[in-house]
Structure 1
Amino acid sequence: MSSDATGIHKLEDVVDLGKFLQARRARVNPGEVGLPDDARRRVPGLRREELALLAGVSVDYYTRLEQGRAKRPSDQVLDAVARALRLDETTRAHLHRLAGNSRRDMLRERSGVRPSLETMLAAIDGFPALILNHRQDVLASNRLARLLYGGFGWELESGPNFVRLLFDDDSREFFPDWYAVCSHETVAQLRKMAALFPDDAEMTALIGELSVRHRDFAEMWAHAEVMDCNIGWVRFEHPMVGLLQLYKDQFRVADGSGQMLVTLTAAPGTDGYEKLALLGAEG
């Protein structure tokens, strides 16, 4: 993150192609791509000339690309650079988006939740479900979600931001896999959404605040990871029912708002299913 003279953090490392390339280049181990990893390297990762060699472009052209002086690089060049940087499909798409300097795929924030989504959320009774916006503010939640997170002292009805909650010191007690499952994936997803909402002042302020307050966040942000909606198992250490393992799915709302429906489920007959039932009955 960088800041101007007033100390206000900006999203330069999200929307700036050069800064993104520098961050990703620093993460590639020379030995993993067949290059000597000598002790004379002053900075981690690949040198510019090494990346250019791997991508099959001239050093001069790659330098201009990182410096923002290469106008509209071709898809072929970007794909070659993505391969050299060992990017996955989601991060490759992010690279193309930055290089194209186009906002045709940028999204537009919606102020509230559509009534149809509110109705659907209210009808979901057997497992926790909630709706987040692109900043991961809680816009709506069902009864079981409020019971689940209420056990940690999180009041979902107040519309908290999930990223802030996850980086609170107490959250590590609630999530046994805090680093790998919660915060790391959350930061990577936040980076992607920040690029889709580059003019969102609240997003800018959130990232700046977390970067200053939490060293873990700042380090994860510097990794320049980009991730789509994350799915998979999440473990909770709940004060009422103990260890609870649920499967997390995120469904992007197809209206261009950046909102997503998040569900936490467990198959009937499993320990997680029984504990959700117990939590619902006790609440």
Structure 2
Amino acid sequence: MGTPLGDFIRAKRDATSPADLGLPDDGRRRAPGLRRIELATRAGMSVEYLTRIEQGRDRNPTLPVLRAIADGLSLNVAERRHLTFLAKIAGGACVGQRQLNPAPLRQEVRPATLETLRLLEPAGVAMVTNKLGDVLAHTSAFNRLLQPTGLLDAEDPNLLRYLFTDPRAQQALLNWEYVADVQTFDLWHAPTLTAAEWLKAEIAAQAGPEFTARLSRNLPPESRPWQIRLPGGIVTKWQREVLETPAEPEQQIVILIPADEQTRNAFAQGQLEQDHSEQDRWGQVTPLRAV
């Protein structure tokens, strides 16, 4: 039986061409990607040992072995962090901790985190979310940008549920597939295993292969701008930046920064203005859960 660690290494190897690593390609490959022997050679290990790791027969590779595999695949920082995380799961180092904490994720946002959002007002497009995709608080500018998309219509907005169950998501997000990849990948790092499994089951039943295929991939998506269509057909591009909150590690502040001049100008010229409700006045952070 395989492991997420082995699946990740194999998936990354399949997605890496020899040319990416400066290796010659003889053109006689049964499948695209890096051969196992090529990775084993670059990592300085035997093909047999690499095979055992990929197939889940060796669940406790040492840190030097993980570093060698990471170097062999030329993993970036996010991918190296994910590789280490999956190794802990494979070896059982963090599974017990995750299973011993089946309680739902904390939904309340700390006053200090809300104050950070207030410092981004009135122009900052930002929200507080967790690794399950629950939107816990947001700035007024976030409301003006995302309200027309339907994301905030639900009583308890959730990005993952919105992406896979609301048809408006694919109309509003021009690169919907990429955003879906990002939010699905976040589930790997949900601090409560029970809550993550519950959400996976709920969404899988509604979304089917669109969701489950992404979940099994477990490759960290590359950073790209989110493309959001505004009313009137204006296309805006936003770079997603994530600020971790150490005091509340299951939560994070997500900031959307204009990624091009058209987006910056549209925002500056007030083209994102909407009719505001009492909960969305200029300069007011909207916590969706009581503190």
The residue identity in structure 1 corresponding to 2:114 is E
Using structure 1 for the length normalisation, give the TM-score. 0.74
Aligned-pair CA distance for 1:179: 3.0
Which whole-Å deviations, capped at 9, do the CAs of 1:233-257 have from their partners, x for residues lacking one? 4332122683344444321112242
Give ranges in structure 2 of 5+ residues lacking alignment.
Answer: 277-291
1:254 aligns with 2:243: no
1:113 aligns with 2:109: yes
Judging changes above 3 Å, is the alpha-carbon distance between structure 1 residues 245 and 29 closer, same or farther for their aligned structure 2 residues?
closer
Q: Is the 8 A contact 1:245 1:272 kept in 2?
A: no
1:134 aligns with 2:139: no
Which residue pairs with 2:210 in the alignment?
216
Which residue pairs with 1:89 in the alignment?
77
1: CA distance, partners of 2:6 / 2:85: 13
Aligned-pair CA distance for 1:225: 1.3
Which residue pairs with 1:52 in the alignment?
40
Q: Where has structure 1 moved over 6 Å in runs of 4 or more? A: none
Secondary structure of 1:218's aligned partner = helix
Which residue pairs with 1:9 in the alignment?
none
Which whole-Å deviations, capped at 9, do the CAs of 1:6-62 have from their partners, x for residues lacking one? xxxxxx86xx322322332332335654354425x2x55445444323322112222
2: CA distance, partners of 1:278 / 1:243: 11
1:34 aligns with 2:24: yes
2: CA distance, partners of 1:83 / 1:155: 42
Q: 1:164 aligns with which of 142, 156, 161?
A: 161
Q: Is the 8 A contact 1:129 1:262 kept in 2?
A: yes
Give ranges in structure 1 of 5+ residues lacking alignment.
Answer: 3-11
Which residue pairs with 2:13 in the alignment?
25
Which residue pairs with 1:271 in the alignment?
265
Aligned-pair CA distance for 1:122: 4.7
Secondary structure of 1:279's aligned partner = coil
Which residue pairs with 2:94 in the alignment?
103
Q: 1:75 aligns with which of 63, 85, 96?
A: 63
Using structure 2 for the length normalisation, give the TM-score. 0.72
Q: Is the 8 A contact 1:235 1:243 kept in 2?
A: yes
Count of matched residue pairs = 260
Secondary structure of 1:73's aligned partner = coil
Which residue pairs with 2:185 in the alignment?
188
Q: 2:176 aligns with which of 170, 178, 187?
A: 178
2: CA distance, partners of 1:241 / 1:31: 40
Aligned-pair CA distance for 1:99: 2.5
